[in-house]
Amino acid sequence: MTGSLTVAVLAGGRSSEHDVSLSSGAAVREGLGEAGHTVVAVEIGRDGVWRREGQPLSVTPAGGLLGVDVVFPVLHGPFGEDGTVQGLLEMLDVAYVGAGVAASALCLDKVLFKELMSALGVPQVDYVGVRAGRFRHARAQVLGEIAALGLPVFVKPAHLGSSTGIVKVAAAEELADALEQAFAHDGLVIVEAMAYGVEVECGVLGALGAEHDGGEEAHASEPGEIVFEGEFYDFGAKYAPGGMELKVPARVSPLAREEVRRLAVRAFLAAGCDGLARVDFFVDGERVLVNELNTMPGFTPTSVYAKLLAASGVAYPQLLDRLCRLALERHEERRAYSY
């Protein structure tokens, strides 16, 4: 499909990243307008209700969504970036931007994603996954496994983004309380060893028509370095004006730069992602460790993904247009299969 598109932008959602999603959605709507597309805004409330111009919205399986050409689900965290909304959009039979059901669910689960990377031999931060039930029934064993990581460690809810609920633990006696705090957010928690070096992020963008023209399936951006003042890259550093500085290109060696880009594409393809992703790394000299992959990175004024692509020659309106075209291309390809 060429020419102007009608795009529904989904924003908000039930997760703790509701406000971040609203900010991302506003930026996406503006950029799509600059690209010449017609935008339909759909807000998902904290109560989970979908609304169009303040009125509840009903949908019908196989009925599309408001007659639009493509949906841009700018949703972060559970109930939006975890495959649930993607599954609904599949049932509506409408094209949508970003990863599908399986990849969305996989990548939002920090433990499952790391287990996949481990099976592939991808270097990453050492970690232990802990379920609430197991911790309460085998507390000493779990604490022993975590002790092998050394101190300090970072305790994180496994399915939240934007650094929500993360606690840095520097003393063994603080660990149990940190786990209980994380279990208030999620029944699955990941505990990660301290990683040294600089934090580097790399954007990945799918390639139009790659399966047909023999080209690359995805391209990695110029890596960027995250510079911040605090102990770690927390919510405030990510979203407060001036909370962090993005340096592009990252101040790493040429060898490390190429390894970041290679591993970003490898993780993207291995997880079965589509359209876009941001892959986060720790780089210490020539040592490159994958941290996590975000299937719908932020699009707020301070967010990194669009800045990385802009530094790599893809302007913001062009980026959004390309993501919509990729969504349409994937939708048409899947319709051609016999089920």
Rounded Cα–Cα distance for residues 8 and 314 (Å): 22
Determine which one of 292, 321, 322, 325 is catalytic: 292
H or E element at residue 269: helix 254-270
- Residue 117, classed as helix, strand or coil, is helix
216, 221, 240, 220: which is closest to 229 by C-alpha? 240
Residue 192 annotated among the catalytic residues of the structure: no
Rounded Cα–Cα distance for residues 227 and 141 (Å): 37
Residue 261 annotated among the catalytic residues of the structure: no
Quick one: tokens of 36? 């010449």
- Tokens 């941001």 correspond to what residue? 278
Rounded Cα–Cα distance for residues 159 and 108 (Å): 5
Determine which one of 96, 127, 233, 239 is catalytic: 239
Q: How many residues does the chain have?
A: 339
**Chain center to CA of 101:** 13
160, 163, 127, 157: which is closest to 145 by C-alpha? 127
Residue 294 annotated among the catalytic residues of the structure: yes
Determine which one of 280, 303, 322, 330 is catalytic: 280
Determine which one of 29, 278, 325, 330 is catalytic: 278
H or E element at residue 190: strand 188-193
Residue 239 annotated among the catalytic residues of the structure: yes
Rounded Cα–Cα distance for residues 303 and 330 (Å): 26
Quick one: tokens of 251? 């101040």
Q: Yes or no: say if 14 and 28 are a contact pair by the CB < 8 Å rule.
A: no
Residue 17 annotated among the catalytic residues of the structure: yes
| Burial of 53 (C-beta count, 10 Å sphere; 0-12/13-18/19+) | exposed
Rounded Cα–Cα distance for residues 114 and 297 (Å): 18
Residue 162 annotated among the catalytic residues of the structure: yes
- Residue 27, classed as helix, strand or coil, is helix
Determine which one of 17, 69, 186, 222 is catalytic: 17
Determine which one of 15, 16, 21, 162 is catalytic: 162
Determine which one of 206, 224, 275, 298 is catalytic: 298
Residue 291 annotated among the catalytic residues of the structure: no
H or E element at residue 191: strand 188-193
Whether a cis peptide bond, with omega within 30° of 0, leads into 249 is yes
Residue 333 annotated among the catalytic residues of the structure: no
- The catalytic residues are 17, 162, 239, 278, 280, 292, 294, 298
